[in-house]
Amino acid sequence: QKYGGKVPYHRRPVTGKEYVDINTLIQQELRKAPRFLAACCESDGTDLAVLTTAPRGFKSGDRATWFVLFHNVAGTGYYLSPVGLEVLVDHGDLHVSRWQLRQVFYNGQYFASTGDLEGAFVANLLEVVRIEKPRAEVVLGSMRPRRPPGSPGPLQYEPQGPRYSVRNNRVTFQGWSFAFGMNPNSGPRLFDIRYRGERIVYELSLQEALALYGSNCPGGMSTRYLDGSFGIGRFAYELVQGLDCPYTATYVDRHYLAESETPKTNQNSLCIFEHDAALPLRRHFSDSPSLYYGGLQKNTLVVRTISTLINYDYIWDFMFHGSGAVEVRVHATGYISSSFLHGQGTNYGNRVGPHTLGTMHLHHIHYKVDLDVNGQLNSLETQDMEYELVKDPWSTQNTIERPYLRRERLEREDEAAFPLNTPLPRYLSFASPKTNKWGHPRSYRIQIVSFAGEHLPTSSSMERSISWGRYQLAVTRRKEEEPTSTSVYNQNDPWTPTVTFADFINNETITNEDLVAWISVGFLHVPHAEDVPNTVTVGNGVGFFLRPYNYFDEDPSVDSPDSVYFRSEQDAGACGTNPLACLPPIACAPRLPAFRYGGFLNL
């Protein structure tokens, strides 16, 4: 009923028990190639890590997965230590005893079985790259500190405690209020976002995270991870205080039900904190004709969670500004995925280790933004600039290129579907039929910050399963039967997708309707030497803003109690004149709670 048709069993996500049974089969098959494994990898197979890929075949009904094998060293990520061996397992039959290993790949060659691989090795028909078993202290990608701890860095503290309130899943902060939650599959989501009591957003939710790879190895070249199928919210583990979030942040447990008859808890897996951006929200120093200074520091409320999806860690931020703006941001960190370097491998990435190819890939993220700007009924308006050549009114023998504002109201969904990597109108707003004091429609502007790669060609047999990626922005009428842009079932049957986002866009009118903005952000990542041991967050963040545009009569932050203003004739060091002069003296560091971490429990 939910999807308007049958949902075949072969579309189901792979469970933990299924992975265990697959690994058992792989271990059985590896025992058929003992001399090869000893020669190539100093291994008997039991100490090799196995990494899944997805999707699992080429047509609906297939459930055959390439698994990539790596050296597994305790205490470090194995993702940078491929041994060159990959196996294709057909696990589509409902009887585990009928599962089969269909193909074996090693160093550019394909074999029908591990027995054939062993035979080719014994007959000296196989080029073997001998890789020593890495030692924990020198393994590529080790995150063990190389220097003793130094002096601690700056710490943020709250002189009079938090200025926000968290009650159950409801947050309030300086005019803002909203409810937060976590979907085990699609991850973080917010509802009923209000500023000064007026709802701005009904739903703001992550929908999907796509990682699409290139390689000259079968596992890498066929990988298109749809992370919602694995569990973006389910794999948001406990946050480390003082590093993942400020030490004094509020930490919240999240609960989910998956592959179990009882709920599981990821304790302290979501954090809420006020952040001093060390940047003025606005300021001005006046040097004439009157002398004064006025400004407001940029303090932001942040809701954050971090998902670890196999090798990658995604940092999900939702930020609330004193100007009435909402900022949504994601950073990617963690380990890159890699392939065994052979042949023309550098056509698909960079060499980052003795035998390791950092494989190129793109990260594309999809969000649902159900804006209700001054009510449910909104229209989509765009504004951009053009130049017009006019004669100077005061000197008619001369001309001037004058910029002017081109305004347009988009009437239908097809007009409001903006393809990826094409120019977007610089100002694009959800507009209310009501106006502000100055006669302009009360509006909220969508401003996207993204460096997306190229979308999968529409000729691909699986493209419709990720057709949301065609658009950097698409605006549709809100429908109860279109709650999400994808489904957990799209990963394992992308050829007959359970949900096809492109079908949401059917040229319906979008004037004075209840509208939803669907936003794609992302970036192309070509791994390089500096991605070892981990990808850094610097430069690897994308997102979007929801900014008031004539929604108010003036900047609402003028009412902030944090504002600073003083004139030249005043004593700026006086507490009554300048609140910055009233900060309490600190004789020693604030009293912090004892550090605790239980993130390795209940995995």
Active-site positions read: 227, 312
Residue 317 phi, psi (nearest 5): -120, 140
Asked whether the beta carbons of 336 and 359 are under 8 A apart, the reply is: yes
Which residue is listed with tokens 């549709």?
Answer: 476
- Residue 285 structure tokens: 């120093």
Asked whether the beta carbons of 212 and 364 are under 8 A apart, the reply is: yes
Q: Does a cis peptide bond (omega within 30 degrees of 0) precede residue 533?
A: yes
Distance of CA 478 to the CA centre of its chain: 24
Cα 51 from Cα 79, distance rounded (Å): 8
Mention every residue, 6+ apart, whose C-beta is less than 8 A from residue 91.
Answer: 18, 21, 22, 25, 63, 64, 65, 99
Cα 78 from Cα 313, distance rounded (Å): 15
DSSP per-residue letters across 388-442: EEEEETTEEEEEEEEEEEEEEEE-BGGGGEEETTS---SEEEEEEEEE-TTSPEE
- Strand 264-286 and strand 250-256: the pairing is antiparallel
Q: Which amino acid is at 504?
A: F
Asked whether the beta carbons of 209 and 465 are under 8 A apart, the reply is: no
- Residue 446 structure tokens: 């969508």
